[in-house]
Amino acid sequence: MRLDDRVAVITGAAKGIGAGIAERFVEAGAAVVILDVDGDGAAAMAVKLSQRGPAMAIHGDVSNEKDVRQAIARIVDQFGRLDVLVNNAGIEVAGSIPDYTEEQWDRQLGVNLKGAFLCAKYAIQRMRGRGGSIVNISSVHAFASYAGNAAYDASKAGMLALTRTLALEHGREGIRVNAICPGYIDTPMMDDWLLTVPDKDSAMRQVLAVHPLGRIGTPRDVADAALFLASNAASFISGATLVVDGAMTVAGH
């Protein structure tokens, strides 16, 4: 699974799953662009990656059309092409529907779903004529809903629908579109969640108990799946959803 001579942009790659994907793609020979609202974090990650291959950081908000349009144009100006888009940027703001504000809902859907739409819109314009691959990082929340996560669940379910439609619309152009649904992954987002529970150790024991593989995932686990879908190894795979959750959902959790 190689990405030699390809240019990939990964949103939300300053940390967590996105950072893991960026590192894996550089290892596989790609030139990597990190698009993140955390400009300092993106720059630091790009410096780290540049020790192994071409890397660039762009500060931008994926929910802002101007930011996305300018970012994609800058990537093509710098590298002359765009081959892979990984829509990874995402936020989670928990809360019950009656207590949720309109601003919270709009921000959640804006980053997680509108951001994927905008990035795909402008990336596809650059992929036409040469083909490409889009990998959308959804979540097991797309089909296993949890109380207090309505906006997050809706955004991640929407990503799967968007994935299927994009695959249908752009397959004839040689553009493949697939989704990954991670489960519990050891990331800063999970660390933030653990800060909200009364007993962190007890919570972790409960989490581990619902994983038939006996552990939670790592960013590398998701990164390997993303590399597979982005590479020629998955040349006949499009419109698919790959679950990376240690068999948690098939165990009924």
What DSSP state is assigned to residue 142? G
Q: Which residue blocks in the chain are alpha helix, DSSP H? A: 16-27, 39-49, 65-79, 102-109, 115-127, 150-170, 188-194, 200-209, 219-230
- Helix axis angle, 65-79 to 115-127, nearest 10°: 30
Could you give the CA distance from residue 170 to residue 140 in angstroms, rounded to a whole number?
Answer: 25
Query: Is 100 in the active site?
Result: no
Out of 122, 146, 152, 184, which one is annotated catalytic?
152
Question: Do residues 84 and 3 lie in contact, with contact meaning Cβ atoms separated by under 8 Å?
Answer: yes
Could you give the CA distance from residue 83 to residue 10 in angstroms, rounded to a whole number?
Answer: 11
DSSP percent split of the chain into helix, strand, coil, nearest 5: 50, 15, 35
Closest C-alpha to 229, from 150, 138, 158:
138
Query: Burial level of 236, CB count in 10 A (0-12/13-18/19+)?
Result: exposed
- 174 sits in the region (left: phi over 0; alpha: psi -120 to 50; else beta) called left
For 91, 141, 176, 218, 240, the CA distances from 229, given in Å and listed in that order, are 23, 21, 9, 18, 9
Residues assigned a catalytic role: 152
